[in-house]
């Protein structure tokens, strides 16, 4: 590399970078080095070389992580929780945050509630009856720094990555910042992204055509690093579409099939303890724009209905009650993903009869001025709809 006029800080950082062996740390040091790099013309070449190096190191790290994951997924399934009910919510928090007490308060479960850590040693499911359906709640053993590196932590987080919703249980009697740092940190290490937009970057692997990037204006950074990263990972034919503002990290996530995007909310608990109002304010100030926050107290049974509704809302499902002409509606609703239309319900009941030989559908809506309306197969359903199907 040609000698360039550089600052003493840069020189020092270069030494640190060159002496660092750990790959992840090397990346951090190189990023620091780049931030200290001179901006004049004579240094351009050097900076470009370092940037290429950085892309290579990141690609190497991604590859190692993938290998690690492949190794781990060969492990046992012991302690796995079978999904049941209309949807599943994982209760995640530090030890003693009050997860078990909350779950006991809204289910028939009798989990151990105790003031020592890890009183719930493995992932534990319970069923919560809610508005004619059942929602499965799973307590994930208390997280701690480094939990992802333990076998029980990995097993627990595998459940969390495949769940429908994560409830972050925050204890208003313990330090808020500390809890959030631990919990968000471990989830992030497990490649679980909360309330993140998975559609900001779309990746399409193609057989030929080279590297094509659309929506460059959305990329928040130097677009060269995108090409460098792809080349360094030996991805030669791909279409990358930035559809919304996106960072380098989002690009890396999008290329990584193992990243999970999960809806999440915060359940703030122990609202009965002194000082909890201030703690709740802090929580709202720091995290209110990223998460819905429901304040509760398991001990006093406060706001548990609001919690149930918030959990339900985060599952993004609809309840649709079917009805036979001349009879009352069914007691148990069909459960469909939000955004479903009449045809989705018809398919679930009896495809031959109600889709292929569809004649008409009638929807009854309680909170509607029009109480009864005749609709077609493409009509969007709403939560609580009563649906009557007729076939030829
Ligand atoms: N004041 C108050 N204390 C609570 C509340 N909920 C739980 N606790 C207490 O907090 C401690 C921990 O409660 P658990 O429900 O066992 O907490 P956990 O998160 O399940 O703990 P682990 O399973 O060990 O991670 C116990 O001493 C509970 O009595 C609450 O709403 N108010
Ligand atoms: Mg517990």
In a domain, 167, yes or no: yes
Residue 372: give its domain's CATH number: 3.10.20.30
Which residue, of 254, 269, 293, is where some domain finishes? 254
Residue of the CA atom closest to atom 9 of ligand 1? 98
| In a shared domain, residues 250 and 266 | no
In a domain, 148, yes or no: yes
φ, ψ for residue 267, nearest 5 deg: -105, 110
Residue of the CA atom closest to atom 23 of ligand 1? 120
| In a shared domain, residues 153 and 45 | no
CB-ligand 1 contact for 85 (6 Å cutoff) = no
In a domain, 233, yes or no: yes
For the whole model, what pTM was predicted?
0.76
Share of the chain above pLDDT 90, in %: 69
In a domain, 116, yes or no: yes
pLDDT higher than threshold 60 for residue 292: yes
DSSP 141-195: PPB-TTGGGSHHHHHHHHHHHTSSEEEEEEETTS-HHHHHHHHHHHHHHTTEEES
Cα 96 to ligand 2 centre (Å): 7
**Confidence (pLDDT) at 367:** 67
In a domain, 82, yes or no: no
| In a shared domain, residues 31 and 143 | no
| In a shared domain, residues 297 and 359 | no
Residue 63: give its domain's CATH number: 1.20.58
**Confidence (pLDDT) at 150:** 87
| In a shared domain, residues 135 and 171 | yes
Number of domains in the chain: 4
pLDDT band at 62 (very low <50, low <70, confident <90, very high): confident
Residue 38 makes CB contacts below 8 A (sequence gap 6+) with 4, 5, 6, 7, 10
Residue 137: give its domain's CATH number: 3.40.50.300
| In a shared domain, residues 163 and 307 | yes
CB-ligand 1 contact for 330 (6 Å cutoff) = no
138-186 pLDDT, tens digit each: 999 999 999 998 888 999 999 999 999 999 999 999 999 999 999 999 9
Instruction: Out of 95-109, 195-209, 242-256, 358-372, give the one with best mean pLDDT.
Output: 95-109
Q: Among the atoms of ligand 1, which is closest to the Cα of residue 93?
A: 19
| Structural domain boundaries enclosing 40 | 8-73
The answer to whether 99 and 91 are in contact (CB under 8 A) is: yes
What is the Cα–Cα distance from 348 to 371, expressed in whole angstroms?
24
What is the Cα–Cα distance from 350 to 63, expressed in whole angstroms?
46
| In a shared domain, residues 308 and 325 | no
Residue of the CA atom closest to atom 10 of ligand 1? 98
Which residue, of 254, 272, 292, is where some domain finishes? 254
| In a shared domain, residues 272 and 248 | no
In a domain, 196, yes or no: no
**Confidence (pLDDT) at 75:** 45
| In a shared domain, residues 291 and 170 | yes
In a domain, 3, yes or no: no
| In a shared domain, residues 355 and 339 | yes
In a domain, 234, yes or no: yes
CB-ligand 1 contact for 113 (6 Å cutoff) = yes
pLDDT higher than threshold 60 for residue 26: yes
Closest CA to 61 of 28, 35, 14: 28
| In a shared domain, residues 51 and 106 | no
pLDDT higher than threshold 70 for residue 79: no
| In a shared domain, residues 41 and 120 | no
């Amino acid at each position: 590399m040609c000698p360039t006029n550089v600052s003493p800080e840069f020189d020092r950082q270069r030494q640190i970078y060159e002496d660092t062996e750990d790959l992840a740390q090397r990346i951090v040091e190189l990023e620091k080095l780049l931030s200290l790099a001179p901006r004049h013309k004579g240094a351009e070449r050097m900076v470009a070389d370092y940037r290429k190096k950085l892309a290579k190191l990141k690609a190497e790290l991604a590859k190692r992580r993938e290998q690690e994951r492949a190794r781990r997924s060969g492990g046992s399934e012991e302690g796995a929780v079978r999904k049941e009910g209309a949807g599943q919510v994982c209760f995640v928090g530090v030890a003693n945050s009050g997860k078990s007490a909350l779950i006991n308060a809204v289910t028939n479960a009798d989990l151990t509630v105790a003031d020592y850590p890890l009183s719930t040693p493995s992932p534990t499911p319970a069923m919560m009856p809610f508005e004619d359906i059942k929602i499965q709640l799973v307590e994930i053993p208390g997280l701690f720094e480094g939990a992802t590196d333990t076998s029980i932590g990995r097993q627990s987080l595998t459940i969390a990555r495949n769940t429908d919703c994560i409830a972050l249980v925050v204890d208003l009697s313990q330090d808020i910042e500390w809890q959030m740092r631990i919990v968000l940190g471990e989830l992030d290490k497990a490649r679980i992204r909360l309330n993140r937009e998975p559609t900001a970057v779309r990746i399409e692997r193609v057989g030929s055509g080279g590297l094509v990037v659309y929506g460059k204006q959305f990329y928040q950074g130097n677009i060269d690093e995108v090409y460098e990263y792809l080349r360094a990972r030996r991805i030669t034919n791909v279409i990358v579409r930035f559809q919304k503002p996106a960072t380098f990290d989002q690009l890396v996530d999008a290329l990584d099939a193992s990243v999970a995007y999960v809806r999440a909310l915060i359940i703030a608990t122990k609202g009965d303890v002194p000082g909890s109002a201030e703690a709740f304010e802090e929580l709202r100030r720091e995290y209110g724009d990223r998460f819905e926050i429901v304040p509760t107290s398991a001990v006093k049974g406060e706001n548990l209905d609001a919690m149930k509704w918030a959990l339900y809302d985060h599952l993004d499902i609809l309840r649709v009650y079917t009805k036979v002409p001349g009879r009352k509606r069914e007691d148990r609703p069909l459960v469909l993903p939000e955004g479903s239309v009449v045809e989705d319900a018809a398919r679930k009941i009896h495809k031959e009869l109600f889709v292929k030989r569809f004649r008409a559908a009638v929807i009854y809506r309680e909170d509607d001025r029009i109480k009864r309306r005749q609709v077609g197969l493409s009509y969007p359903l709403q939560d609580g709809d009563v649906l009557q199907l007729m076939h030829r």
